[in-house]
A and B are shown apart, each in its own frame.
Chain A
Amino acid sequence: MKELFILAVVTVFTLVTYYLVEPFAHSHMHAHHESEKFAYKDLPALTKTGNVARGKDLVMGAGACAGCHGIKVAGMPAPMDAVTAAQAYGVNPPDLSNAGAVFDPKFLAALIKNPTHALMLENKFNAKTGKTFPMPQFYGAGGDIDQEIADMVAYLQSIAVPKDKLTANVAFETACGRCHAIHYEYNLDGKLHAPWTQIGEKPKFKHKQDELAFETKVLDYQDSLTKYLGKLPPDLSMYIRSRGEHFLSTFVEDPDNYLKGTAMPRVGVDAVAAEKVIEHLADVGDSKRHIREEVGKNVMIYIIIFAIFAILWKKEVWRDLH
């Protein structure tokens, strides 16, 4: 009984110290934000049902999307290569092939109508700073502008990979990959994936010259990006461990949550794509998490059996000592 009492005292002091040093201290160091589950409540809901065919005409024609964006799945290559595009715009405009699968439809509609508002960059691009955002507003093609936008969104959704087929790396590349690099290779489903740069996967090169030429391009691109954003966005290789799931999710949902006035725009991913992005970061930075759980279970079983035998041994040895 006395031993149990001592154990209780030791446990209480240990737990109090743990509570003070971890949950309590961290609650005073970092603001906590609850996720709004990617509802984007400040953006207006879509009221019209879009028409895919009309949307296609608008995207390719009057909407003038294809002037800057490539749409590979529709056979439209990007008008400029990534490095040149970044020199012109600051950042390479995304290929729209999977935009409909990754971004929330409400966000896409708001983005087409008023990009700086949807991206929450009005603090940077406004009359006062004299800076204009590279993507112009869509003022309508002569009809009901909300209907036209709904049509374009419907078209983008129709060409995108189906929601259930959206892979983690595609979600990451579409949502984050033009600003953030991941310099770790990663192994997924038995296949080794190359490191990611802002201009795409880094290929394997046979000749040093080709590799250096590629790296020069990456550096040029990063220079434009740094000039545009004020700072080169961080490499995300270990972000799953340095920031954790909750932070990443609520940060992506609204970067202003943690970094007021940051150059990072609101990305506008929907809840599913956000989960995929985080899954990708886990695939890269915490690739052994599944095996860790598996091994953990077995080790715990082993150790519990060990402890039982240790207790039995003690009882056996101490039988004659009492």
Chain B
Amino acid sequence: MAHFTKATSMHDWLNQRLGIDTLNRVLATEYWIPKNINFLWAMGMILAITFGMLLISGIFLLMYYQPNVNLAFDSVNYTIMQEVGYGWLWRHVHGVAASVVFLIIYIHMFTGIYYGSYKKGREMIWISGMLLFVAFSAEAFSGYMLPWGQMSYWAGMVITNLFSMGGLHMDGLVEWIRGDYVPAQAYLNRFFMLHVLLIPLAIIGLIGLHFGALRIPHVNNQDGEEVDFDVEAKKYLAGDKANSKVIRFMNDFLAKDMMVVGIFLILFFYLVFYHYDFAMDPVNFDPANGLKTPTHIYPEWYFLWSYEILRPFSTNVGLIAFAFAQVIFFALPFLDRSPNAVPASRRGLFKIWFWAMLIDMIILTAMGKVPPIEPFGTIGFYAALTFFGLWIALPFITMFEKKV
């Protein structure tokens, strides 16, 4: 049993019971971050803050939303948007944050790829990050169902239908997911539960894992330099802050994070108030109607690249390609055979691989949205082939990479 003494202050009282000084040291003041970083290292904090905004705005929306096929549309577009004080603000924040969070996730991912931050002990950071990507995708899709507009309904129809397509023909699974022959009440209730409880719980757990995974290998830096954190920390603590290669998480790193967050929020709130249509598709302001298929059905922008990988092929090949695209990023740390954890600019062919992948995914994204007419069909087809070609080439080009 621990020995407790009479507390001399509130701080001491808490410290004896919770060890807040130790916590503060381990999590903040002596959590060492390399100094040699740029603003891309603040994407994690931006993501945490955006997730916080999604959570808070979501709580307010949850107080008025009605998960019922007859009431859902009006509870969002009338009750929340027009009757509830500032309900429109919560919804715009929620809708815009849901879209912007993916932009930041992609920037965060490509930063990791560029700087090789998934290697040399950082594999679990990458894998937990990819799990977060999957969880965020599921959260975005389930949330998209809730306003029960035309895009909600038809996106739900198309995506659940995927399982019934091709050689497997799993119609039973589709009915099981929907709880009906078409997306209806049971379907809406399930996706409501997933969106407000199960997936957020998973996300919060995964964020814990992601942060935890950073702890032992530490954060990478922009030159891929191997920093001896113990030596550098001693230097810092001895007062030689200028020559130490590390900084404290708090306040040093946090101050830089908050600067980037501040600039990000200017863009974010500009979008919330003045430019929200990109995140709140006009088509979804038509109530769901199972008898009226919209002229164009397309996913939100962040799913377009994988949608386009599905689209240009015959059904079976398309489904396999789609499944491949969903999981292949998980394998990145193992497909990259090079021991170099340095920026792509110093890695020869990998540098070309990186930019080719980024540009290819942007092309896939664009082609996933436009109607499948020529020349877009052909461009999409070759962009999809390029995607696979790049992944197949990755182990080979990295195997022969020179050690730097």
Nearest 3 pairs of A and B residues by beta carbon: A296-B273, A307-B262, A20-B366
Known A-B contacts A310-B258, A311-B259; A300 and B269 likewise in contact (beta carbons under 8 Å)? yes
Q: Which of B347-404 contact A (CB under 8 A)?
A: 358, 362, 365-366, 369-371, 373, 376
Residue of A nearest to B35 (CB): A321
* Most chain B Cβ neighbours within 10 Å, of A22, A300, A318, A321: A321
Residue of B nearest to A299 (CB): B269
B185 within 8 A of A: no
A28 within 8 A of B: yes
Contacting pair B369 A21 (CB below 8 A): yes
Q: Which of A16, A238, A287, A300 is in CB contact (< 8 Å) with B266?
A: A300
Contacts of B86 in A (CB 8 A): 295
Contacts of A285 in B (CB 8 A): 77, 285
Q: Which of A7, A29, A288, A300 is in CB contact (< 8 Å) with B82?
A: A288
Q: Which of B265, B287, B373 is in CB contact (< 8 Å) with A307?
A: B265
Known A-B contacts A238-B77, A292-B273; A10 and B107 likewise in contact (beta carbons under 8 Å)? yes
Q: How far is the CA of A310 from the CA of B49 in the complex (A)?
A: 15
Q: How far is the CA of A111 from the CA of B296 in the complex (A)?
A: 36
Residue of B nearest to A304 (CB): B266
In the complex, per-residue mask of A290-304: 1 if CB is within 8 Å of any chain B CB, else 0: 001101100110011
Q: Which of B81, B103, B298 is in CB contact (< 8 Å) with A288?
A: B81
Contacts of B365 in A (CB 8 A): 17, 20-21
B295 within 8 A of A: yes
Residue of B nearest to A185 (CB): B78
Contacting pair A3 B39 (CB below 8 A): yes
Contacting pair A321 B266 (CB below 8 A): no
Chain B: interface secondary structure?
A: helix
B274 within 8 A of A: yes
Contacting pair A313 B282 (CB below 8 A): no
Which of A79-87, A128-136, A157-165, A241-249 faces chain B? A241-249
Residue of A nearest to B76 (CB): A238
Contacting pair A320 B242 (CB below 8 A): yes
State the interface size on chain B (CB cutoff 8 A). Answer: 56
Q: How far is the CA of A244 from the CA of B282 in the complex (A)?
A: 8
A213 within 8 A of B: no
Contacting pair A242 B282 (CB below 8 A): yes
Contacting pair B371 A28 (CB below 8 A): yes
Contacting pair A296 B274 (CB below 8 A): yes
Q: How far is the CA of A292 from the CA of B81 in the complex (A)?
A: 11
Which of B248-256, B310-318, B323-331 faces chain A? B248-256
B176 within 8 A of A: no
Contacting pair B286 A238 (CB below 8 A): yes
| A181 CB, min distance to chain B CBs, angstroms | 13
Q: How far is the CA of A18 from the CA of B89 in the complex (A)?
A: 23
Some 21 contacts from A to B, beta carbons below 8 A apart, are: A3-B38, A6-B38, A7-B39, A16-B362, A20-B362, A21-B278, A24-B366, A28-B373, A29-B295, A184-B74, A184-B78, A238-B286, A238-B287, A242-B284, A242-B285, A242-B286, A292-B92, A295-B86, A300-B270, A313-B255, A320-B241
B247 within 8 A of A: yes
B214 within 8 A of A: no
Contacts of A237 in B (CB 8 A): 77-78
Contacting pair A243 B282 (CB below 8 A): yes
| A304 CB, min distance to chain B CBs, angstroms | 6
B263 within 8 A of A: yes
Q: How far is the CA of A299 from the CA of B93 in the complex (A)?
A: 12
B229 within 8 A of A: no
A73 within 8 A of B: no
Contacting pair B258 A13 (CB below 8 A): no
Contacts of A288 in B (CB 8 A): 81-82, 88
Residue of B nearest to A244 (CB): B282
Residue of B nearest to A235 (CB): B287
Contacts of A204 in B (CB 8 A): none
A317 within 8 A of B: yes
Q: How far is the CA of A149 from the CA of B365 in the complex (A)?
A: 58
B261 within 8 A of A: yes
Q: Which of B258-314 contact A (CB under 8 A)?
A: 258-259, 261-263, 265-266, 269-270, 272-274, 278, 280, 282-287, 295-296, 298, 301, 304
Contacting pair B278 A241 (CB below 8 A): no
A2 within 8 A of B: yes
Known A-B contacts A288-B82, A303-B266; A310 and B259 likewise in contact (beta carbons under 8 Å)? yes
| A30 CB, min distance to chain B CBs, angstroms | 8
Q: Which of B259, B263, B272, B301 is in CB contact (< 8 Å) with A17?
A: B301
A314 within 8 A of B: yes
Contacts of B103 in A (CB 8 A): 14
In the complex, per-residue mask of A15-44: 1 if CB is within 8 Å of any chain B CB, else 0: 011101110110011000000000000000
B40 within 8 A of A: yes
| A189 CB, min distance to chain B CBs, angstroms | 16
Contacts of B252 in A (CB 8 A): 317-318, 321
Residue of B nearest to A300 (CB): B269
Known A-B contacts A10-B107, A18-B278, A238-B77; A314 and B255 likewise in contact (beta carbons under 8 Å)? yes
Q: How far is the CA of A60 from the CA of B256 in the complex (A)?
A: 79
A322 within 8 A of B: yes
Contacting pair A310 B261 (CB below 8 A): yes
Contacting pair B265 A306 (CB below 8 A): yes
Contacts of B284 in A (CB 8 A): 242
Known A-B contacts A21-B301, A322-B242; A295 and B282 likewise in contact (beta carbons under 8 Å)? no
Q: How far is the CA of A287 from the CA of B84 in the complex (A)?
A: 12
Contacts of B286 in A (CB 8 A): 238, 242
Residue of B nearest to A184 (CB): B78
| A59 CB, min distance to chain B CBs, angstroms | 40
Q: Which of B12-53 contact A (CB under 8 A)?
A: 35, 38-40
Residue of B nearest to A310 (CB): B262
